[in-house]
Structure 1
Amino acid sequence: MKQNKVAREQQIAVFGESGSGKTVLLSSFYGLALEQELAGTERFDLLAVDSAQGRRLHQNYLGMKKSASLPMGDRFSSTSYAFTIKRKPGAAANAKKNLKEELRLVWHDYPGEWFQQDPSVPEEAVRRLETFRGLLGSDVAMVLVDGQKLLDHAGEEERYLKSLLTNINTQLLRLRDDLLVNDERLVRFPRIWLMALSKADLLPETDVTMFRDLLVEKVGKELNNLQDVIGSFVETPEALSVGEDFVLLSSAKFEPEKIEVSKRVGLDLILPIAAMLPISRYLPWAQTMKKSADVAKHLMGAVAPSSSLLASAKVASIIGRLPNPIATVAATVGPFLAKSAFDLAGSRVEELHAQASEKHDFLTETLTGFQMELNRGDDEKVLLRGRV
């Protein structure tokens, strides 16, 4: 039997209304990765697990780049895309072999039409439910706010924003009773809900702080409602972050008869957000967990594959042996791990990155590289991370 080489799989669920740019975003992300224009691809290859899916995304990207043609959206189509991130062939021939040195990203695309329209037939309602069940393994959910619609509603942005968040709330509530068997809340559920401004190139004067302030000013109440609705799905809702993280995204610069795919915003942050943001939240949450051993076990287990980055092999082995009730042990191990996570800033992460590069430690080099991208996103006011 072929051994599984996946050291860490991260899933991200992307929500946005029809026309918000999900297909363009994903196509640009993959096309730039193939052309080694995405941050980190000088060290690793990012490839679609399903070659047919990858070819369609690449075709979309080339259509934008060479013909200024936008990809056709697949109405009501729900698709998950899996990508592997692995060391380039032949790179560092003397590197230590690691049976689990491959990373994987699974990108769930939830149809925007499902937030805006009722099911037309019972079969469609079932499909919506099954699609949502498929993305429950995601740690991060990204809600796209359409920059074009903000422009269209300039001066009265709350009209669009309230509609967007209300539609998401309504759809979640419709799914809730069918997802929660015997009203038992879920341990596995997206616990980090990040707000993303898509088509950010249309609002060049808007930095991420201004985007955050716009949402809080115009729809602060609706964001609180969204947090309450999402909290009603999960066991231990205090281990939840909704509307505390913000990012600007632009797939390209769009002009009449010209699409400049090299002029993007935020696409280099998608992998780092998916891989690293949960680490900064899950460790402190698990550390303070007092009641739910299942949730603490899930949180610690989600970051255990990356523990060599945060601490040491000894600590990684401790995590692997965590007994029940896990909360007690997590409270013992947690402070050290949490401190290590917060140390991944500035010169410290750069030092770890340089050391990993010298040792040809692919996983640590890649993950510290992701952390450096997040820090750079903060500095450039493209990313705004909430505090734990």
Structure 2
Amino acid sequence: MAAREKKIRRTPRRPAPRSRKLEQHIAVFGESGSGKTVLLSSFYGAAQDQAGREDSQAPQLYDLVADDTTQGDRLLKNYFRMENSAEVPAGNRFRAEPYRFTLSLRSTPSAAERKAMPVDAVQLVWHDYPGEWFERSVSGPEEERRRIEAFRALLVSDVALLMVDGQKLKDAAGEEERYLKALFHTLRTGLVRLRDEILVGGKELVRFPRIWVLALSKADLLPEMDVDRFKALVLEKAADELGQLREAIESMVVGDEALAVGEDALLLSSARFTPGRIAVRERIGVDVILPLAAMLPFERHVTWARRQEIPAKVARELAENAGTIGTGAMALAMFGARHRLPGRLGLISTALATVVPLLSKDMVQDAASLAGEKLRGVHDRALEKKQSLAAILTGFKIDLERAEREGVLRRSRR
């Protein structure tokens, strides 16, 4: 009996397998009527609209598919009703429903290629938080429970979009501060109201949305407004209220140095709306959402994790759990795991099991800061060698650079 017990004690415990998914969550916050439901329908409809995709000169390397067929069909119904009947979808009042999308490669990798890939799947989870829950009190205990559950579900998000309603901003022309101050006050009050329910025992959170992007919805109504003018307007008219919102968010997280509230900005228009017609293919910024959700957290986490003043557990969380797979595997996915890596990365073995532990902080930084001609060179090599995942991720970074040149996106330089 003793020998048997001794044998059991010597049996090693197998560690749980580490996920190889690049899974990014995005949370969308805005008042009711700010265009959140239309935006989601436009985002998915554009990904499925074959006629619209054929106009693009870029090679189509992937498909984006809703994991829940019923959800996907509902979004497509909204999209095609906008296109064919000029019918705007109704908002999700008092209901928070996450949507999960999977990016699948168009060319199926061989068994050897799949083994070498540091990522098995790329997924995006979209959390649409109802504006009504910021604007008014809940009706009872059941709705309060659903509100808290919805907010807890989106805590894994790295990126949050703060929707500024372009229609309301236009209506307040000359007095924009009235609308902007009220908006940020409403969002801050809603977060403060949730604070005690979200923080168990008052303990601040490590996992929490840390990149809060100012997003101007219905940007087609303000054609003279580029992203820099938009951000300047917000700071001119409501910098104090935006700062108070940031303080409310800071009070909920560990390591508030790793936090960007209103530092990034994006213009969004789900379609061009005219009387009797909705031009769904005349979008602004919608095609930037997936690249933003996939790449911005990686870039920002690497930058933040290099800072010595960030608490160790926050730096570790950002470095190891960013996008589920970790920053090292993300860097390899960008460069492609089966061909010689550029620069210092080329000096080490490209066998995946060997490379990931050997990636230094500088090497990961090289991947995060890849830009300009060097970025295009890595992207072109990935296309040439049919490294689809690397081509997709570097293509996402190219999309972000293009959006900045076009005045649609502005990333924080901090």
Please confirm whether the aligned pair reaches a TM-score higher than 0.5, indicating the same fold.
yes
- From 73, 77, 95, give the equivalent of 1:55: 73
Q: Tell me how far 1:92 sits from its aligned partner.
A: 7.0
| Aligned counterparts, 1:1-388, within 5 A | 7-36=21-50, 37=52, 42-88=60-106, 90=107, 96-98=113-115, 100-290=119-309, 292-301=311-320, 302=322, 303-308=327-332, 309=334, 312=345, 333-342=360-369, 344-388=370-414
Q: Distance in 2 between matches of 1:177 and 1:171?
A: 12
Q: How many residues align?
A: 375
Percent identical = 49
Q: Tell me how far 1:334 sits from its aligned partner.
A: 2.9
TM-score, structure 2 as length reference: 0.85
TM-score, structure 1 as length reference: 0.91
Distance 1:318 1:333, change over 3 A: farther
| Contact 2:255–2:311, Cα closer than 8 Å, also in 1 | yes
Q: Tell me how far 1:41 sits from its aligned partner.
A: 7.8
| Contact 1:68–1:257, Cα closer than 8 Å, also in 2 | yes
**Once the two structures are superposed, what CA deviation does each residue of 1:320-363 show, in whole Å capped at 9, x if it has no partner?**
659xxxxxxxxx94344224322x21111111111111222222
| Contact 1:14–1:109, Cα closer than 8 Å, also in 2 | yes
Q: Tell me how far 1:184 sits from its aligned partner.
A: 1.4
Structure index of larger Rg: 2
Q: Tell me how far 1:18 sits from its aligned partner.
A: 0.4
Which stretch shows the higher mean deviation, 252-261 or 98-107?
98-107
In structure 2, what residue type is equivalent to 1:50?
D
Q: Distance in 2 between matches of 1:349 and 1:252?
A: 31
Distance 1:317 1:288, change over 3 A: farther
| Contact 2:263–2:412, Cα closer than 8 Å, also in 1 | yes
Q: How large is the Cα RMSD of the aligned pairs?
A: 2.4
In structure 2, what residue type is equivalent to 1:119?
V
Q: Distance in 2 between matches of 1:363 and 1:94?
A: 15
Q: Distance in 2 between matches of 1:286 and 1:280?
A: 10
Name the residue aligned to 1:329. none
Q: Tell me how far 1:293 sits from its aligned partner.
A: 2.4
Q: Tell me how far 1:178 sits from its aligned partner.
A: 1.6
| Contact 2:329–2:356, Cα closer than 8 Å, also in 1 | no
Distance 1:235 1:92, change over 3 A: closer
**Once the two structures are superposed, what CA deviation does each residue of 1:287-341 show, in whole Å capped at 9, x if it has no partner?**
114462221111001134312026758698689659xxxxxxxxx9434422432
**Once the two structures are superposed, what CA deviation does each residue of 1:237-270 show, in whole Å capped at 9, x if it has no partner?**
0011111000000011101111111100001100
Q: Tell me how far 1:69 sits from its aligned partner.
A: 0.7
Which stretch shows the higher mean deviation, 375-384 or 307-316?
307-316
Q: Distance in 2 between matches of 1:95 and 1:291?
A: 39
Q: Distance in 2 between matches of 1:335 and 1:96?
A: 26
**Once the two structures are superposed, what CA deviation does each residue of 1:180-223 show, in whole Å capped at 9, x if it has no partner?**
12221111000100000000000011000000010000000111
Unpaired runs of at least 5, structure 1: 323-331
Q: Distance in 1 between matches of 2:95 and 2:377?
A: 44
Q: Distance in 2 between matches of 1:284 and 1:317?
A: 25
| Contact 2:227–2:409, Cα closer than 8 Å, also in 1 | yes
Q: Tell me how far 1:131 sits from its aligned partner.
A: 0.7
In structure 2, what residue type is equivalent to 1:357?
L
Q: Distance in 2 between matches of 1:74 and 1:269?
A: 23
